[in-house]
Amino acid sequence: MAEPLLRVDDLNISFHGGRSVTHAVRGVSFDIDREKVGIVGESGSGKSQTGRALLRLTPKGARITAKALSFDGIDLLAASEPDMRKIRGKRISMILQDPKFSLNPLMRVGQQIVEAYRVHTPSSKAEARDKAMAMLEAVNIRNPRRVFELLPHEVSGGMGQRIMIAMMLILEPDLIIADEPTSALDVTVRRQVLTILDELVTRRGAGLMFISHDLNMVADFCDRVLVMYAGRIVEDIPARDLKHAEHPYTRALLDSLPRLDRPVDMLTVPKRDPAWLTSPTIRRASA
Amino acid sequence: MADITRPSSLSAWLREPIPTSSWQARAQQLWLSWRALRSNPSVMFGGTVILAVALLAIFAPLVATHDIYAQDLSIRLQKPSAAHWLGTDELGRDVYSRLVFGARITLYIAGLTAIIAAPIGLMVGTTAGYIGGWVDTVLMRIVDVFLAFPSLILALAFVAALGPGIENAIIAISLAAWPPIARLARAETLSIRKSDYIAAVRLQKASSLRIIFNHIMPMCIPSVIVRVTLNMAAIILTAAGLGFLGLGAQPPSPEWGTMLSSAREFIFTNGTIAAIPGTAILLVSLAFNLLGDGLRDMMDPRHG
Amino acid sequence: MMPSQTLGKDRILEAVGLHVSFGTGLTSTVAVDDVSFTIARGEAYGLIGESGCGKSTILRTIAGLVDSYDGALLFGNKELPGKRDKDFFRKVQMVFQDPYGSLHPRKMVESVLAEPLAIHKFDNPRQRIDAVLEAVGLGPSFRFRYPHELSGGQRQRVAIARALVIEPEVLLLDEPTSALDVSVQAEILNLLKTLRRETGVTYFMVSHDIAVITHLCDRIAVMADGRIIEEMTAADVRAGRAREPYTRTFLEASTGYVTAS
């Protein structure tokens, strides 16, 4: 069997602060090939830290260990900082939650996309500008010439996120990590952004790691879902099989959401079972 | 009903996860703050130096070796020796004893100024920030007038008007010290009053007075403490400056600035008598600066 | 806008032609544009819309946190004066969205709950505080905790306790669960439902999540650009009986991902 694009084996991330040690991620293992994989969990589940560890963007006090952390044959654990810089943005890129905080507020958005391009690819200013314009069109921005000259505070949330996507995908990376990319957006805009992301990812044949707290959205959008709880993956299941999920935590997450099509009087509140902290991952292979 | 056993020690009482009285809860929070302070080297160093100076000042009569006013012209301008640990000044007085009593005056001036200026600044600033409108405008223009003068000049002007002396020096320095604190408190208040917990109290129809004193001031106190501590160095230097110019403590008072002033003429004969009060001023100012820096580092990341 | 029918029940809160704008002259923006609604005593009324539609502004205007507005707001069939009085605040209280910002960082739970009791001169503060803490599922052991020692869900419970301790008639809820995890949200929604059943308090809730608001509320108004587009019952929403095109688009976008299980 061909080596998957991303292989993570027994990833552990811990924070050593003063007297206490926090194990944010404990023994997480999964593969991502050219598919859309969703990582779902509540706050404190370790999902964001997992994504950041791949690009070594974890906070200073973090200690990362793993049996294997490889991307397209490159050992991400052993890579030097200059190597990581070459990977970040060009081979693996990351889309963050709120464009208000991830775009440079003082630089015009078009210029930011151009910069992102020229950092990794030697090209003339005119070439890069054309590429940026093409990217803005690819994310369905109707008037790219006008938007190119705007500052981040002048664009709406949905448009900002699409610009973020343009910036992150202009170098055609092989793996995209999206950390809650639609959580800060309105419902009607979410659909648009997800559609664009879907299109670009599928067209390029890239892999997508979609981190979110919204189980239903991830299940609809992704091919596979990894459910995280307290730093571990409790269930690894194809998205379409989610209704047959076996792990009690996954079931509890599904049942505790209010639903329009199944009204209940009282919502089920997940009862945390300490066994979940150590039980093995329930994996179900994709068909 | 569980048997209520008394915790075996103070330490256990402080570590109990569920406090059973408001005193216990407050004590626990203070203890946690103390532990945080202890782990900060700037705070510990600065705090220890200030504590040492304070102890010297309090126990001055016990620690001093000679009468600070006793003159003996036959032993004037001597270098440090076994009899006079830091030497003698131009009138034969023991420099060490005068230094130790001078610490009293310095800390007295610094402490009193802080006690006067900080509350005034806090009250003016929070009121202006919360009530806004013409109250804010009037109060802030008054603050602006005070801020327009450099603090030493302002203190000089007040002392010139009120006459020299320690008490007048204190009043003068306080008048120069409260406006920056008012500005700081107002800036903090402007951002605090937008928060939901203030909205919640307004929704209980709490009076403005209650909101300002009970809710807004407690939130401003950490930054005011830091600011005052950092200003201490300036206050001490201003007091020394006034003393140096003969407008603060009057000779034969052992105030450090006055000592420095009288030592001026003898710098080339016996540099120590000028260097010693100067070094003392430096050390205490540095200690306050370090304390303030350490406190600010602790406050900043936690109270955003 | 069609005036809503309250089936002859006792009207507790009513807005007539409410209009709120911010800024002056060229920079003025209209946040709430000619909004009218009626809420009956004991019912749960929901307001839903996207960010910037004006729903939170309406809530804050009712609470008296907005300086000036046009149109009329009536409480118990009497028009509210420009500046709300103490009696109003005894009867109307609010729960805020962000549990991490709605409690004073330096005050213990005991102090937070004792203050409204003191301001409105209630007797037996100790018993009332114990009772309300039990009612929100925390218990008296939480009296001496500070907010930074509490989780998001616990803080929100304290915020609800603070609002309920003076026994109001109307509770304004500004997206009370949107900052909480899914499992904690379920707890808080259950708590809100139970409390309403036990005390008969009226809810006026604002949210951007249609499933949450339909779970809790009887009638729901959809807002956009400062205007109420449509008013529906919870049953209407579940059956997808939306009349206006905006409502249809909104419902579709919100339910697009419910196909999971």
C257 contact A CB<8A: yes
Closest-CA residue of chain B to C171: B203
Q: What does the pLDDT read at residue C8?
A: 53
- Give the minimum alpha-carbon distance from B25 to chain C in angstroms, rounded to a whole number: 6
In chain A, pLDDT over 70 holds for what percent of residues? Answer: 98
Share of chain B above pLDDT 70, in %: 96
Mark out chain C residues that contact chain B at CB-CB < 8 A: 63-65, 84-86, 89, 93-94, 96-98, 101-106, 108, 110-111, 115-116, 119-120, 141, 144-146, 159, 162, 166
Give yes or no for residue B4 having a pLDDT over 60.
no
Choose from A187, A218, A225 for mutation: most chain C CBs within 10 A. Answer: A187
Closest CA to C4 of C48, C79, C14, C57: C14
Contacts of B303 in chain C (CB under 8 A): 105
Mean pLDDT across C112-139: 93
pLDDT digits 0-9 by tens, C53-62: 889 999 999 9
- Residues from chain A that touch C214, judged by Cβ atoms under 8 A, are 258, 260, 263
Across the interface, of C97, C108, C162, the residue whose CB is closest to B25 is C108
The CA distance from B260 to B256, in Å, is 6
Kindly state the average pLDDT of the residues B177-182: 94
How much is the pLDDT for A207?
A: 93
Of chain C residues 31-60, which have a CB less than 8 A from chain A? 50-51
pLDDT category, B2, cuts 50, 70, 90?
Answer: very low
Least confident of A66-70, B92-96, C6-10: C6-10
Q: What is the mean pLDDT of chain B?
A: 87
Section B53-60 average pLDDT: 91
pLDDT at position C13: 92
Query: Is residue A260 very low, low, confident or very high in pLDDT (cuts 50, 70, 90)?
Result: confident
Confidence of residue A286 (pLDDT cuts 50, 70, 90): low
Q: Is ipTM strictly over 0.90? A: no
Q: What is the pLDDT of residues C74-98, one digit of tens each?
A: 998 888 888 888 889 999 999 999 9
| Model pLDDT, residue A279 | 82
pLDDT score of A18: 67
Would the pLDDT of C130 be above 90? yes
- 3-state SS string for chain B: CCCCCCCCCHHHHHHCCCCCCHHHHHHHHHHHHHHHHHCCHHHHHHHHHHHHHHHHHHCHHHHCCCCCCCCCHHHCCCCCCCCCCCCECCCCCEHHHHHHHHHHHHHHHHHHHHHHHHHHHHHHHHHHHHHCHHHHHHHHHHHHHHHCCCHHHHHHHHHHHHCCCHHHHHHHHHHHHHHHHHHHHHHHHHHHCCCHHHHHHHCCCCCHHHHHHHHHHHHHHHHHHHHHHHHHHHHHHHHHHHHHCCCCCCCCCCCHHHHHHHHHHHCCCCCHHHHHHHHHHHHHHHHHHHHHHHHHHHHHHHCC
Residue B143 has pLDDT above 90, yes or no: yes
For B196, the closest of C101, C110, C115 (CB atoms) is C101
Q: Rounded to a whole number, what is the largest CA-CA distance in chain A?
A: 63
pLDDT at C5: 52
Average pLDDT across chain A, whole number: 89
- Chain C residues with CB-CB distance to B32 below 8 A: none
**pLDDT at residue B126, as a whole number:** 96
Q: What is the helix (H) or strand (E) element at residue C186, kind and residue range?
A: helix C182-199
Distance in Å, alpha carbon of B50 to nearest chain C alpha carbon: 28
Neighboring chain C residues of A100 at a CB cutoff of 8 Å: none
Task: Please report all neighbours of B, defined by 3+ CB atom pairs within 8 A.
Answer: C
pLDDT at C122: 93
- Residue C212 predicted with pLDDT over 90: yes
Residue B301: pLDDT over 80: no
Contact C261 A187 (CB under 8 A): no
How many contacts, defined by CB atoms under 8 Å, are there between A and C? 93
Tens-place pLDDT, residues A80-119:
989 888 888 889 999 998 888 888 999 999 999 999 899 8
- The answer on pLDDT for A178 being more than 90 is yes
The residue-averaged pLDDT of A28-40 equals: 93
Partner-chain contact C214 A260, CB within 8 Å: yes
Predicted confidence (pLDDT) at residue C256 exceeds the cutoff of 80: no
